[in-house]
Amino acid sequence: MQYNIVGDTLPAVICTLAPNESMITENGGMCWMTPNMKMETTTNGGIGKAFGRAFTGESMFQNVYTSQGGPGMIAFASSLPGCIRAFNISPGHDMVVQKRGFLASEMSVTLSVFLQKKFGAGFFGGEGFIMQRLSGCGVAFVEFDGYVVEYELQKGQQLVVDTGYIAAMDATCQMSIQQVPGLKNALLGGEGLFNTVVTGPGKLCR
């Protein structure tokens, strides 16, 4: 599979597939394709995984597109103003992304639920208890609202992020919360009572 991300405000990713190659996408993610792309709607892993995806904000069903009789082309468009990022997923290199971030991927990538283990991080961190986890092996495309900046955190290195601004991170990163110091800062500073602290190692997108 080869791809090209185009567009600015409402981007799309155009994928060129080899014969009999398949991609999977969220419900309604396809925007245009060549006539030889065959669509099949599936639970992709059974009803249990389908319910799990529903908890992350995705549809219970996913669409699989396969090129038949030769190479095929298919494009997936973002549903909101922002950007599309491609992540290379491999064993031991899972990604955790915000709810409803998944757009499309190669068939060898698995979308599942990621649950915040710490009550405070889930309740006050702005990302909620439930996020999406991308595992397996292959390229996954994730859509984000607004512009995304990437940081590579070393082991033990931390970045303080305003609540709700974490777009994605390596599964090796840890997320916790810290209270905004000072009552006046917390009440009048406009940043809320808590900030999210991400600790490396791993990539952080915000």
Can you give the pLDDT at residue 157?
Answer: 98
Predicted confidence band of residue 46 (pLDDT cuts 50, 70, 90)? low
- How many other C-beta atoms can be found within 10 angstroms of the C-beta atom of residue 191? 12
Backbone Cα Rg of the chain: 18
Assign 31 a pLDDT band (cuts: 50, 70, 90): very high
pLDDT score at 79: 86
Query: Coil, strand, or helix at residue 55?
Result: helix
The pLDDT, as a whole number, for residue 128 is: 52
pLDDT for position 48: 53
Q: Which domains does the chain have, with CATH numbers?
A: 2-205 (3.60.160.10)
Collapsed DSSP state (helix, strand, coil) of residue 119: helix
Q: Answer whether residue 186 shows pLDDT above 80.
A: no
The answer to whether residue 192 scores a pLDDT higher than 60 is no
Task: Count Cβ atoms below 10 Å from residue 70 Cβ, excluding itself.
Answer: 11
Q: How far apart are CA 13 and CA 84, in angstroms?
A: 7
- pLDDT tens-digit profile of 126-179? 455 588 999 999 999 999 998 899 999 999 999 998 877 889 999 999 988 887
| Residue from 155, 161, 104, 163 nearest 134 by CA | 104
Q: Which residue has the tokens 């940081």?
A: 151
- Residue pair 109/136 in contact (Cβ under 8 Å)? The answer is yes
Q: Considering the chain, what percentage of its residues have pLDDT values greater than 70?
A: 78
Q: What is the model's pTM?
A: 0.84
Q: How many whole angstroms separate alpha carbon 29 and alpha carbon 16?
A: 16
Going from the C-alpha of 203 to that of each of 75, 84, 153, the distances in angstroms are 27, 16, 6
Whether residue 180 has pLDDT greater than 80: no
> Mean pLDDT of all residues in the chain?
84
SS3 153: strand
